[in-house]
Chain A
Amino acid sequence: MSNLKNITVNEITSDDSINLLNSSKLHIICSAKKVGGLANTLLTKLGEPQLNIDRYCDMVNSKYEPGCLFPKHTITLFPVLRQDKQLTMQQDLRKFFGDTFEAQEKYFKSNKMIFCFDEQSWPDMALVKAILQEELINRPLEGVESISFHPF
């Protein structure tokens, strides 16, 4: 499963997606942006107070590691790119995607996945997509029927 489908913001935040999230059938990976990001929109729709959303995003960004919301929501927050570190952007991305795959295989086991990014969090979107595709070829995810990517 390395073919990434395109998906729009409206589809990601639709009632159908929320229903799928509530039934653990969809795993969404999105940037840990406190304000104006998809993480905020989705978690608010799922009933999380802003205080909690801020806390989750702060934790992910300060530790610079992806964080999943198991067992409450099938959502993994992806850290926002930090420039002041030793690893290259590619190395960071490979490591982070590995962690999101771990969240999927070990905890969520959903049959749909959506990776959503924005240029404020990861400026080189083409690189993000290319590395995700490579990592998916290296580590095919069992039981996942579709993987979508936003933006396209």
Chain B
Amino acid sequence: MLLLLLTDVYEPITLDNLFHISTGLLEDKHERFIEHNNDQRKVWFLHMGDMRANDGLIDFENLANNEEDLIHNRLKREKKKIATKKDTSNDPIDLIPITEKRLIQPTDYLLCVRGVPAGYSMIKSMNELKKYKRFENFCAVATHHFIIFKLRDNYSNMNIHYIHLILDSIVKNELLDLYNNKKKGLVSNNSNKLATSNNNQGVIITGIKEIKDIKVKVFKRLEKQDEIVSFHNEIVDATKKIEEKSLQYNNSINLNFNSK
């Protein structure tokens, strides 16, 4: 029988070892397309507002409208700026080309640390893509609203759903604690790391520095990873069914009450 030599060793991995962690791109400094086989493909920039609040998936229905609104507002702001500044030079800014490395992959996980931390598993969104014909050859990058976790190559055979569940758990525990502590002003020994809410700003876990050394214990046996994902999915399905039942019940008693 094949031995997994590292399985039984209690060896927590830091997030930095497990993922390549980076910050998203500044949208107005980058091109909005990528060269692909002598062709240009549109690149979508993902913002917090492009993510659905209820299930954390990319809001494909409104992606195009969101972009249109955003560009429209930006142009309006820029016009205003030019009108107020007399000596504004109109030199065009050279935009930075987007490389394939920066494109969102299904294995990526996006973390938003502005305000209450929220995590978004890209594998779930990419599975949704099949439903939208107009997003064939979908290319997207994350904006600077997000911190991006890209699974390192040597861990690429792991169950991605399992890895993203671990990140979900970190977001809902460690990062939420960090957020709450910062909000209360408990962590104040290093003012550079803090962005307090004094000036109507949200609390920001400012950097990768604060996240990269968080340690996680990962089951290395793929069977165990699959088992945990199945167990999680069963619980989620069961919860949904209970929610639906309770909603039905609630609606029915409201109806009965109103008809009397």
Contact = CB atoms under 8 A, between A and B. Distances in A.
Interface of A: 22-24, 56, 59-60, 63, 65-74, 76-77, 99-100, 102-103, 106-109
A71 B2 contact: no
A68 B3 contact: yes
Contacts of A102: 2
Interface of B: 1-6, 153-158, 218, 220, 222
Which of A23, A70, A72 neighbours the largest number of chain B CB atoms within 10 Å of its CB?
A70
Contacts, number: 56
Contacts of B157: 24, 70-71, 107-109
B5 A68 contact: yes
Given A24-B153, A60-B5, A72-B6, 6 more contacts: A23-B153, A56-B5, A65-B2, A67-B4, A71-B154, A77-B5
Give chain B's interface secondary structure class.
loop
A74 B154 contact: yes
Contacts of B154: 22-24, 71-74
Contacts of B218: 71
B219 to A, nearest CB: 10
A56 B5 CA distance: 7
13 contacts: A22-B153, A22-B154, A23-B154, A24-B153, A67-B5, A70-B157, A71-B218, A72-B154, A74-B154, A76-B2, A102-B2, A103-B2, A108-B157
A129 B156 CA distance: 31
B220 to A, nearest CB: 6
B6 A70 contact: yes
- Nearest 10 interchain pairs by C-beta: A67-B3, A99-B2, A67-B5, A23-B153, A56-B5, A102-B2, A65-B3, A71-B155, A24-B153, A24-B154
A9 B22 CA distance: 37
Contacts of A65: 1-3
A67 B155 CA distance: 17
A104 to B, nearest CB: 10
Contacts of A77: 5
Contact of A68 (B2, B153, B155, B158): B2
A92 B5 CA distance: 20
A70 B220 contact: yes
Contacts of A59: 3, 5
A38 B5 CA distance: 18
